[in-house]
């Protein structure tokens, strides 16, 4: 018997995502000046106001007000009618120094013995739903909002769009976990005032159907396009959505952890990502477990894999590594035996993870909207500041999405 599974996404203009992006932009600015910065930056956004808080240990200095305004402008909050805009919002900073009690467990004489920044468990997941090894409901939810943002910025169609939006996709699967069809799509998007509410709702729904979904289908592979043959569509189901963004709802860093990861598939350890430097295993180890899961599935170890790792604060070696293949393993090994082999392939000490993925580089702001996983790795020139001088360096983004361990995995598992 088949089943339905649903995931959601939110746009870069959603208030919680505005907060995430500001937190990660401040992190990047500190890493740009001091790669050893220890950062835990939290942001609150509400009507006309940004509040920054958290703990920092750094040799750098960041004009936090300027960074916050730049991010808000990039997202698209540039009109006073939104009751939250880059030019006029207030910015309050209450960031203070990191506790030495935490820092003593993280920094060691030997970098390889760097302890975990906190206790906890982190999860990574991968499946064969899409070419990005991401669950299809979340993958489609992200694409809908990326395209909606692209349409808004092009200013040629749907010119009434404002930055805040949400999507939700329900997929019907068969009993073998294969996607059969798109069952339901929900799109809620902030918009300008209309003269008549009924005409407004009809116009937006028509445009979502004929413009947005048509564009989304066009960029999907053929084996996914056919899934849209017959589906239920809800657009702004409550009706009017003029008041939105931080004016409509207060936003906080770290409140969209399921959107950031796997849309409810697999599991989540509970720790948020944005605003945290890589010494916080909430972030770095979650990236590392995704990297493991993706490379194992790509190598053919299983069709679906969940990886868990757990740490004690101040201790470098993980306290445990767990693998669940959901009975899809293609090798004649138990999940426990697979986990033993994985421990021999991937070094999960915090310092090794940081080195493997280049996590002391300022690469985090792009992660803070449309998911930290399922993204395409790329290289770009990034500005650094060393000894007061600006210089450009090429760095890699989304390195944990690389399939660079597939051959090693195949060798170890005799695939």
Is 249 annotated to bind ligand?
A: yes
Is 241 annotated to bind ligand?
A: yes
Is 308 annotated to bind ligand?
A: no
Tokens describing residue 136: 């299809």
Is 42 annotated to bind ligand?
A: yes
Is 164 annotated to bind ligand?
A: yes
Is 98 annotated to bind ligand?
A: yes
Is 165 annotated to bind ligand?
A: yes
Is 55 annotated to bind ligand?
A: yes
- Could you give the C-alpha distances from 234 to 132, 217, 231, 340, 377, in angstroms and in order? 27, 17, 10, 47, 33
Is 240 annotated to bind ligand?
A: yes
Question: What DSSP element (H or E) covers 207?
Answer: helix 197-207
Dmax over CA atoms of the chain, in Å, equals: 67
How many helices and strands, by DSSP H and E, does the chain display?
13, 13
Round to whole Å and give the CA distance between 283 and 279: 8
- Could you give the C-alpha distances from 214 to 122, 143, 220, 221, 236, in angstroms and in order? 37, 12, 10, 13, 18
191, with CB counted inside 10 A (0-12, 13-18, 19+), is: buried
- Could you give the C-alpha distances from 156 to 36, 69, 98, 167, 211, in angstroms and in order? 44, 26, 47, 22, 11
Round to whole Å and give the CA distance between 23 and 166: 21
Among positive and negative, which fits the CA dihedral 22, 64, 379, 39? negative
Is 113 annotated to bind ligand?
A: no
Backbone angles phi, psi at 177, to 5 degrees: 65, 25
Is 290 annotated to bind ligand?
A: no
Backbone angles phi, psi at 392, to 5 degrees: -105, 135
Round to whole Å and give the CA distance between 90 and 261: 31
Is 207 annotated to bind ligand?
A: no
Binding residues for K(+): 42
Residue positions in the annotated binding site for ATP? 14, 164-166, 240-241, 249, 255-256, 272, 276
Binding residues for L-methionine: 55, 98, 249, 280
Sequence ranges of the binding site for Mg(2+): 16
Binding site residue list: 14, 16, 42, 55, 98, 164-166, 240-241, 249, 255-256, 272, 276, 280
């Amino acid at each position: 018997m088949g089943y339905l599974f649903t995931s959601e996404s939110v746009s870069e203009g959603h208030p919680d995502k505005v907060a995430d992006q500001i937190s990660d932009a401040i992190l990047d600015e500190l890493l740009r000046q001091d790669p050893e910065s220890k950062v835990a930056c939290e942001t609150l956004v509400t009507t006309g106001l940004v509040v920054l808080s958290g703990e920092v240990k750094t040799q750098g200095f960041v004009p936090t007000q300027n960074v916050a305004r730049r991010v808000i402008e990039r997202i698209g909050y540039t009109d006073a009618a939104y009751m939250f805009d880059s030019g006029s919002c207030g910015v309050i900073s209450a960031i203070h120094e990191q506790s030495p009690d935490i820092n003593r467990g993280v920094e060691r004489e030997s970098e390889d013995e760097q302890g975990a920044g906190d206790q906890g468990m982190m999860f990574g997941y991968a499946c064969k739903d899409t070419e990005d090894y991401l669950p299809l409901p979340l993958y489609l939810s992200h694409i809908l909002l990326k395209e909606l943002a692209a349409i808004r910025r092009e200013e040629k169609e749907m010119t009434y769009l404002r930055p805040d939006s949400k999507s939700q996709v329900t997929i019907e699967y068969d009993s073998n976990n294969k996607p059969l069809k798109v069952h339901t799509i929900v799109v809620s998007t902030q918009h300008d005032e209309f003269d008549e509410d009924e005409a407004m709702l009809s116009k937006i729904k028509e445009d979502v159907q004929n413009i947005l979904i048509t564009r989304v289908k066009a960029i999907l592979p053929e084996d996914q396009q056919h899934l849209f043959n017959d589906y239920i569509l809800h657009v702004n189901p409550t009706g009017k959505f003029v008041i939105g963004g931080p004016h409509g709802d207060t936003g906080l860093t770290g409140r969209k952890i399921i959107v950031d990861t796997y849309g409810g598939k697999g599991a989540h350890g509970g720790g948020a990502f944005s605003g945290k430097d890589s010494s916080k295993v909430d972030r770095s180890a979650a990236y590392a477990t995704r990297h493991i899961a993706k490379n194992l599935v790509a190598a053919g170890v299983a069709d679906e894999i969940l990886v868990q790792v757990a740490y004690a604060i101040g201790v470098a070696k993980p306290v445990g590594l767990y693998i669940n293949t959901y009975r899809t393993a293609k090798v004649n090994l138990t999940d426990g035996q697979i986990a033993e082999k994985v421990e021999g392939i991937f070094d999960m000490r915090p310092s090794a993870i940081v080195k493997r993925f280049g996590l002391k580089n300022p690469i985090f702001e792009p992660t803070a909207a449309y998911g930290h996983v399922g993204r395409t790795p790329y290289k770009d020139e990034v500005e650094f500041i060393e000894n007061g001088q600006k210089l450009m360096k090429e760095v890699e983004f989304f390195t944990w999405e690389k399939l660079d361990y597939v051959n090693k995995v195949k060798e170890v598992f005799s695939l």
